[in-house]
């Protein structure tokens, strides 16, 4: 019998009906007392993402159909928008797989323009990376493409198109991609978990999608933010939380420009157990949590307060450069209603850890990259660049299979740039060149304005041309994008030619 994806891991087994419950629980791998929900049955009904439907009976193959199409979605009670969607929803269906599973996505493009799907943060072969011109042809209107790969790492990832991405992502094309590691049922042991996709959408006065070019070159320079902030596709959705009971939130910033600086109010911390590329070296409490566009976090929260009361998850003002904090207000993200049930008084939160082996950087190749901006003297338009050249004039960084590089990325501009490298994880380094603790595999890192960041990356055995760019997608399209060309060493190549 094909096992629907939603049955692989139940966050709230008590949602199941009657006598089936004990039987099915017994059948579930890894279910134990520690794996049971502590929440009331409907705690996440108003916020939970819909999941992709697995059509393949093989338990280790997840096979889904994705159709990109224009559809009407409701983003707030009575507020409907004709948006760009995967399978008619914003965000697109949540992909939930286990690490090592094979994923097959039959993608059909029924949008009015070409598109692709990029699997953000997944270390998969270049042919599956979804970047037209570098890894596949664009999927034209009415055409299809099948993505097929083995999922290599556990963690919270996401997906989005890589054609006109500021426009297409801004119109609603993105979704969460959760890769579960069954071992975490024991080590983390928080059954009540939720994928939270943060984004925004820009609507004009008629309530239609605003043009992705508003504000012209200056709009690009700043990075356009949508005027409606969405959490799992809704404005300020609610969830119910039992006082004292831990919840695990996997957060994705899928906004095309916006940073989020999360705050759950007085006395609440986010225990960050994971980041972009799975669990971090050890858990750490954060009073506020900043996520640049494209970044993720895996956190445990424990709501406190009076049953029947309410908390608010908000986004505070984060300074991402000139003009980003003036005349602006906090954003309400989630109304956390405290359940009218006895508080849970379990023990302390789990102290997770993971052994991460940092890259050996001895003899690593140094690469310097400056993030730059220039204004055309004749037409006054702005253009971003890396080392003063926009992507349409850029030469790729060269790398050999197995090579380790240290990148020094200097941001000379007045705006921060969340820099994303396709296909590989890196570690951020401190001033002394040592990896920042707790160690965290990253694929997107904020390069604050007028500041610099060093990172160490190792290119493995997956040759190809892998792009990297600012995840403020207007900036990427405005020039802040380049590529790493990864291949066998030139000497070996010459050898091959001679023989
Ligand atoms: Cu999520 Cu090239 O990006
Ligand atoms: Cu940028």
pLDDT tens profile 172-217: 999 999 999 999 999 999 999 999 999 999 999 999 999 999 999 9
For the CA of 160, the nearest atom of ligand 1 = 1
- Residues 256-265, mean pLDDT to the nearest whole number: 98
Ligand number nearest to the C-alpha of 257: 2
Q: Is the pLDDT of residue 102 over 90?
A: yes
**Rounded distance, CA 107 to CA 227, Å?**
30
Residue 461: the pLDDT is 95
CA 293 to ligand 2 center in whole angstroms: 9
**Rounded distance, CA 483 to CA 464, Å?**
10
Which residue's alpha carbon is nearest to atom 1 within ligand 1? 120
Q: Is the pLDDT of residue 11 over 50?
A: no
Residue 6: the pLDDT is 34
For the CA of 481, the nearest atom of ligand 1 = 2
CA 340 to ligand 2 center in whole angstroms: 44
**Rounded distance, CA 229 to CA 409, Å?**
30
- Residues 246-264, mean pLDDT to the nearest whole number: 98
CA 113 to ligand 2 center in whole angstroms: 25
Q: Residues 335-356, buried b or exposed e (16+ Cβ, 10 A)? A: bbbbbeeeeeeeeebbebebeb
Ligand number nearest to the C-alpha of 472: 2
Side-chain half-sphere of 45: how many Cα atoms within 13 Å? 7
**Rounded distance, CA 151 to CA 468, Å?**
21
CA 420 to ligand 1 center in whole angstroms: 6
pLDDT mean across residues, the chain: 92
Ligand number nearest to the C-alpha of 162: 1
- Residues 239-260, mean pLDDT to the nearest whole number: 98
Ligand number nearest to the C-alpha of 120: 1
- Quick: pLDDT tens for 54-88: 999 999 999 999 999 999 999 999 999 999 999 99
Q: What is the pTM of this model?
A: 0.92
CA 295 to ligand 1 center in whole angstroms: 10
For the CA of 121, the nearest atom of ligand 1 = 1
21 or 116, which is more confident?
116
Residue 17: the pLDDT is 36
For the CA of 476, the nearest atom of ligand 1 = 2
**Rounded distance, CA 293 to CA 29, Å?**
35
Confidence of residue 253 (pLDDT cuts 50, 70, 90): very high
**Residue 225 CB coordination number (10 Å):** 22
- Quick: pLDDT tens for 322-343: 999 998 999 999 999 999 999 9
Residue 22: the pLDDT is 37
CA 302 to ligand 1 center in whole angstroms: 32
Confidence of residue 496 (pLDDT cuts 50, 70, 90): confident
- Residues 377-381, mean pLDDT to the nearest whole number: 93
| Contact by Cβ (8 Å): 107, 66 | yes
Residue 285: the pLDDT is 97
E strand residue ranges, 11-129 = 61-76, 79-86, 92-98, 102-109, 118-120
For the CA of 158, the nearest atom of ligand 1 = 1
Confidence of residue 499 (pLDDT cuts 50, 70, 90): low
Q: Which of 147, 135, 139 is nearest to 485 (CA)?
A: 135
Q: Which of 431, 296, 281 is nearest to 354 (CA)?
A: 281
DSSP 102-138: EEEEEEEE-SSS-B--EEET----GGGS--BTTTB--
299 or 24, which is more confident?
299
Window from 289-298, 476-485, 488-497 with minimum mean pLDDT: 488-497
Q: Within its chain, how far is the Cα of 347 from the centroid?
A: 31
3 state DSSP class of 178: strand
Residues lining ligand 1, judged by CB closer than 6 Å?
Answer: 118, 120, 160, 162, 294, 420, 422, 467, 469, 471
CA 370 to ligand 2 center in whole angstroms: 12
**Rounded distance, CA 495 to CA 282, Å?**
46
Q: Is the pLDDT of residue 32 over 90?
A: no
For the CA of 469, the nearest atom of ligand 1 = 2
CA 91 to ligand 2 center in whole angstroms: 23
Ligand number nearest to the C-alpha of 480: 2
Q: Residues 92-122, buried b or exposed e (16+ Cβ, 10 A)? A: bbbbbbbbebebbbebbbebeebbbbbbbbb
For the CA of 468, the nearest atom of ligand 1 = 2
296-301 sheet: strands from edge to edge: 228-231, 193-201, 247-253, 296-301, 270-275, 278-286
- Residues 228-233, mean pLDDT to the nearest whole number: 98
Q: Is the pLDDT of residue 226 over 50?
A: yes
CA 415 to ligand 1 center in whole angstroms: 19
Which residue's alpha carbon is nearest to atom 3 within ligand 1? 120
């Amino acid at each position: 019998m094909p096992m629907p994806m939603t049955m692989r891991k139940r966050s709230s087994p008590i949602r199941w009906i009657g006598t089936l419950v004990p039987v099915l629980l017994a059948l579930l791998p890894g279910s134990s007392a520690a794996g049971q929900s502590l929440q009331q049955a409907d705690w996440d009904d108003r916020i939970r993402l819909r999941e992709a439907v697995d059509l393949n009976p093989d338990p280790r193959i997840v096979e889904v159909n994705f159709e990109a199409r224009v559809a009407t979605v409701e983003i707030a009670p009575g507020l409907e928008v004709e948006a760009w969607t995967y399978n008619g929803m914003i965000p697109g269906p949540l992909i939930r797989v286990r690490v090592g599973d094979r994923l097959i996505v039959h993608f059909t493009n029924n949008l009015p323009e070409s598109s692709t799907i990029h699997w953000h943060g997944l270390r998969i072969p270049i042919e599956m990376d979804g970047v037209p011109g570098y890894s596949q042809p664009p999927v034209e209107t009415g055409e299809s493409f099948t993505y097929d790969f083995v999922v290599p790492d556990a963690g919270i990832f996401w997906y989005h198109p890589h054609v006109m991405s500021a426009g297409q992502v801004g119109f609603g094309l993105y979704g969460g991609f959760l890769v579960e590691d069954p071992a975490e049922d024991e080590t983390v042991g928080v059954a009540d978990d939720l994928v939270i996709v943060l984004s925004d959408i820009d609507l004009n006065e008629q309530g239609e999608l605003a043009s992705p070019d508003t504000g012209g070159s200056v709009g690009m320079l700043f990075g356009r933010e949508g005027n409606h902030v969405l959490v799992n596709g809704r404005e300020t959705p609610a969830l119910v939380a039992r006082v004292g009971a831990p919840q695990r939130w996997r957060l994705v910033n899928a906004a095309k420009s916006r940073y989020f600086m999360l705050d759950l109010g007085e006395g609440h911390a986010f225990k960050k157990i994971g980041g972009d590329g799975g669990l971090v070296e050890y858990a750490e409490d954060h009073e506020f949590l900043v996520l640049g566009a494209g970044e993720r976090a895996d956190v445990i929260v424990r709501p406190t307060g009076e049953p029947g009361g309410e908390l608010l998850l908000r986004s505070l003002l984060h300074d991402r450069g000139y003009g980003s904090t003036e005349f602006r207000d906090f954003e309400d993200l989630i109304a956390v209603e405290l359940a009218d049930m006895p508080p849970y008084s379990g023990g302390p939160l789990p102290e997770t850890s993971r052994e991460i082996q940092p890259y050996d950087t001895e003899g690593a190749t140094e690469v310097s990259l400056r993030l730059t901006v220039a204004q055309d003297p004749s037409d006054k338009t702005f253009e971003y660049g890396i080392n003063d050249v926009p992507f349409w004039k850029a030469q790729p960084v060269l790398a050999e299979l197995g090579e380790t590089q240290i990148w020094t990325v200097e941001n000379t501009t007045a705006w921060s740039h969340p820099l994303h490298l396709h296909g590989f994880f890196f570690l951020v380094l401190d001033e002394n060149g040592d990896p920042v603790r707790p160690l965290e595999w990253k694929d997107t890192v904020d390069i604050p304005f007028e500041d610099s960041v060093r990172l160490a990356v190792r290119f493995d055995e997956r040759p190809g041309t892998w792009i990297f760019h600012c995840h403020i997608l207007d900036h990427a399209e405005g020039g802040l994008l380049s590529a790493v060309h990864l291949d066998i060493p030139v000497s070996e190549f010459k050898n091959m030619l001679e023989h």
